Structure 1
Amino acid sequence: MEYYTPRCKICLICGDEASGCHYGVLTCGSCKVFFKRAMEGQHNYLCAGRNDCIVDKIRRKNCPACRLRKCCQAGMVLGGELFSSGFIKIALQDESQSLTQRLSFSPNQEIQFVPPMISVLRGIEPEVVYAGYDNTKPETPSSLLTSLNHLCERQLLCVVKWSKLLPGFRNLHIDDQITLIQYSWMSLMVFAMGWRSYKHVSGQMLYFAPDLILNEQRMKESSFYSLCLSMWQLPQEFVRLQVSQEEFLCMKALLLLNTIPLEGLRSQSQFDEMRTSYIRELVKAIGLRQKGVVANSQRFYQLTKLMDSMHDLHLFCLNTFLQSRALSVEFPEMMSEVIAAQLPKILAGMVKPLLFHKK
């Protein structure tokens, strides 16, 4: 007589027998406790090898850096015990390999305490994208906007890939993932452009790409000078506030989560937990400055006000791109589809901006 033996559930981190869904991922009790302590504690894990250590039941304690990275890759997020989905869709193989490579550390790298989640955010930052702009040809209003549109399409693909690697995002319903990207992609691009302008040219110009940088004169000569002035305020705010990379990374993650449909999301509770987790990470990033409770509270107020201002800038960008159609500007198909999907809902008041402060 044959007996059927139920298959035990396997921990997605170390392969041991899983005790349940912990922080959004099917894991064993050991990996559950490890992740909680790593995320809440003051640890700065560094791999002594090549950031490719084997994490299994026997060797899971050998390298906490690789173990934590595997937890984050799988989508573990504090608060994830409320997630309705017990199984996590792992990111595509090429994305996982790319993340592992980009999280590697140089042996001579200066050791500095950084919260584990922020280290992951550093590792998944997209590579530099070039506009492919030909500076030798005469510049016309339509040629500049056409180049920007094609740059936007390349950056949109980067946003999609980045979001898949963002811890917790793939736990959301696939419809919610698409919706959040549609509502935030423009803000994310402008925010990243503001950061590049701040870091590379001290906020003196608009650094769209290494081969497309606009000084004030070129802004004036463009067909979207008023938009340039509005966008230019962003890197100037970065300069004024001296925003750190850790703060920028957390703010960028929150911008992906700053607008939802009026009726809410399918996985609203999971979304709320994820957003709360990244707000906590921003608080940790601010705390790295070690200025004290009062100063940290003031800075949190300043940075969240800056994030709130992105809602208006987002609308300004969309309207400008729509008006540019009259200039015979080329719109890539993917970009046109995304704008067509989001703009009617925004104009009809069917979206809910998640503001930190009342206007």
Structure 2
Amino acid sequence: MKYSLLVLILATSTFAPLDCDAQVKDHNIALQKILDKACKKKNNTIIGVSSSVKSPELQIDFTGSSGFDSKEKTMLLHAKQPFRIASVTKVFVAAAILRLHEQQRISIEDPITKYISDAHIKLLQDGDYTPASITVRHCLNHTSGLYDYAVGGEEYIAEARKDSKKRWTRTEQIKFAMDHGKPHAPPGQEEHYSDTGYVLLGEILERQTNSGLAESLRTLLKFDALGMSATYLESLEERPEGLLNNVKRYMGELDASNWDNSVDLYGGGGLVSTTEDLTLFLQALFNGRLFEKEGTLEVMLLKKGYPANGEALPNQRLGFTSVVGEKTGLTAYLHTGFWGTVFIHIPEYNCSIAINYTYDGDSDAIQQTVDYVLELGKKKE
């Protein structure tokens, strides 16, 4: 799911009447109908879709699913089935880095050379970078100039296809970026999405907490206290007991569900979660239950400590991207994942939305869910 599609969704939302009446008292019925309609739509490729929508202000607390959990269509999709969330993991990594920042264990304005290994500094230097000029902030907001080992070109996926059981290391991924791409621009000048920057952030979390990445995320982000019982860093910690089978993951027609998850693990991706856990996280993040200091969320959203000099803030924040509806004027913060995961928070209505597709998908379920929330919000004003 591309950011451009989500920008379109927010921009074109006009509170148009929906098939599901926004006056329905039981929002669960209305939101479930949206999922069912998406799966029953003719001539589409949607196999299954699950979603969670939470907004205390709008009195919405919904989690549901429709369709199947695989292309084989042998098992109905259950709302509580976990799935690999891919790049949505980056928001969690960014939040964990900001937890260290507010605890003054690191500064996001420091160069990454202060926190990463000498071996990785040397790799970057050999790749024609000046790592002493790349700050933690640059990695957070994708302005590091670092070539993206994962999707900067087609080489990485082609290499991964050769041996789906290969156990990749962070160092191999950094070296892959150095071998297959050049710096985009000097640090801080241009935005270029980079998994490479986020695997370096993952390294910073490990080294500054003296623990593994899984433990640092779980502890800093309070997974257990928040009730995120289905969220874990796959292969780097034990899978929680009692979970249902994971939703299948596909790369085109190829079933990639059993690929070794190290292909996307060390900070750019790697978490497994559910739509409900994702909305629990967003609600905690935006309602003061995650960060210790009131101003940390403002730092994450560039509302504090960012030298805008009167200019409009960039769409890319720290971990999130942001979109503003042209007709609604509302800001939403969001991220998407390679396998078909989307999560969005709309502060105006304190509404968190997470949607996951089994295989492919169009914008219908997202569009109608967002429209439902916006229409309901307008009626509440």
TM-score band by shorter chain is under 0.3
More strand, by proportion: 2
Say which structure, 1 or 2, has more relative contact order (CA 8 Å, 6+ apart). 2
TM-score, structure 1 as length reference = 0.26
More helix, by proportion: 1
TM-score, structure 2 as length reference = 0.25
